[in-house]
Amino acid sequence: MIEDPLPEQTEFSFGDLLSALRDEANPFPARYLYRLSGLEGNELDQLRKAWPLLSARRRLGLLEDLELLAESNTVMHFDAVDQQALSDEEAEIRTVAIRSLWPSEQKGLIPVFIDLLNKDENTGVRAQAAAALGRFVYLGELGKIPPGTLKEVEEQLLDVLDADVDPLVQRRALESLGYASRPEVADLIEGAYQGGEPDWVASALFAMGRSADDRWAPIVIEHLQDTNPDLSREAARAAGELELSEALSGLLELLEDDDSEVRLAAAWSLSQIGGREAADALEGLLERSDDEDEIDLIENVLENLAFTEELGELNLLDFATDDLEDLTHPEEDKNGNNEDLDAD
């Protein structure tokens, strides 16, 4: 648990940090967390030596605090700390380390994640590794990793779907493949959906949202009204990722849902779609809410809505008439390539 929200403007040595980390009778001061960003060299070596001497609870608490800090402060990154925790003896710590590395674009993580996917003894770790490889499928679709590397990642995930492994690992593999433009992936998503098992339907909806493929629009919109909150939530998320303007009315209805996760998923998707009606509804949701955590999340949603609207205005201003015509009536890509996918 982070003790204080902001770093103190005082000097301290890395030795002071390690001493505080070892002092497990007291919370680890938040001001030291910032010092772990971009860790390298001798200081990283010192942390590695100290790491196994800490209790599992201390190690896990530190990783969770760093994850929260990285989410709120995008300038900070704790890749070095997370990477050394990938080999921790505790499965929960390995899982958090993998999850925390999601923003990283380091290609060197690919073989590590593949190894964890195939060899780790813990199902949760293998599932998290399958989820983490989705980041590299996405980067491959953007041309940010070599085609051969992308193919290797995809093949590993496809192999999981054919293997005798825990369904959770398989579902995470399918979700990661949602980014892929390979033609067989659509059939895999369709098969998972048609199977009708709720967990697999949820994963299929998740993958649909990542696909940038409007073919899934009718299914996504139908499940906005699903009585299973897990499915209506995933449908809401997919509608936003696909920017389905025709899902607007369904998403507006979900703002009244009893399940807070469903409400917030719908709210975020409305911020991705944009428009005056969405803005009015989100502002109304903010006024009605009396939960501080929900209020904070809705305020983030409204910031994203403002960004969406600003981006739309810039797109209109930055393109000439001919350019806009090309965008609205594009010629068929002779190479059959998909457009770049939106970020997760």
Q: Which of 178, 175, 204, 179 is nearest to 191 (CA)?
A: 204
Report d(CA 16, CA 18) in Å as an integer: 5
Amino acid identity, position 13: S
Same-domain pairing of 109 and 20: no
Residue 117 lies in a domain: yes
CA distances for 33 relative to 78, 90, 245, angstroms? 9, 22, 42
In the chain, how many domains are there? 3
The three-state (H, E, C) secondary structure of 127-151, written as one string: HHHHHHHHHHHHHHHCCCCCHHHHH
Give the CATH number, domain containing residue 290: 1.25.10.10
Instruction: Please check whether residues 109 and 98 belong to one and the same domain.
Output: no
Q: What is the pTM of this model?
A: 0.84
Residue 72, pLDDT score = 85
Residues 8 and 99 in one domain: yes
Average pLDDT over every residue of 213-219: 97
pLDDT score, position 248 = 96
With respect to residue 260, please indicate whether it lies within any of the assigned structural domains: yes
In this structure, the answer to whether residues 274 and 205 fall within a common structural domain is no
Query: Is residue 245 assigned to a domain?
Result: yes
145 and 190, same structural domain? yes
> Which of 46, 81, 103 is where one domain is finished?
103
Higher pLDDT, 328 or 84: 84
Q: How confident is the model at residue 324 (pLDDT cuts 50, 70, 90)?
A: very low
Question: DSSP secondary-structure letter at 29?
Answer: P
67 and 53 share a domain?
yes
Q: Is there a contact between 203 and 210 (Cβ–Cβ < 8 Å)? A: no
Tens digit of pLDDT for each residue in 163-175? 999 999 999 999 9
Q: Are residues 67 and 134 in the same domain?
A: no
Query: Considering the domain boundaries, does residue 200 fall inside one?
Result: yes
Per-residue 3-state assignment (H helix, E strand, C coil) for 44-88:
HHHHHHHHHHCCHHHHHHHHHHHHHHHHHCCCCCCHHHHHHHHHC
- The answer to whether position 339 is within a domain reads no
Same domain, 243 and 312: yes
Retrieve residue 113's tokens: 């994640």
CATH number for position 170: 1.25.10
Alpha-carbon distance of 163 to 182, in angstroms, equals: 20
- Assess if residue 219 is contained within a domain: no
Q: Cα(68)–Cα(2) distance, rounded to whole angstroms?
A: 9
Whether 138 and 191 map to the same domain: the answer is yes
Q: Are residues 232 and 164 in the same domain?
A: no
- Distant-in-sequence, close-in-space partners of 32: CB < 8 Å, separation ≥ 6: 12, 16, 17, 20, 21
Q: What is the pLDDT of residues 233-258, one digit of tens each?
A: 999 999 999 999 999 999 999 999 99
**Residue 126 and residue 45 in one domain:** no
Instruction: Report if residue 337 sits inside a domain.
Output: no
- Domain span at residue 42 reads 1-103
Decide if pLDDT at 13 tops 90.
yes
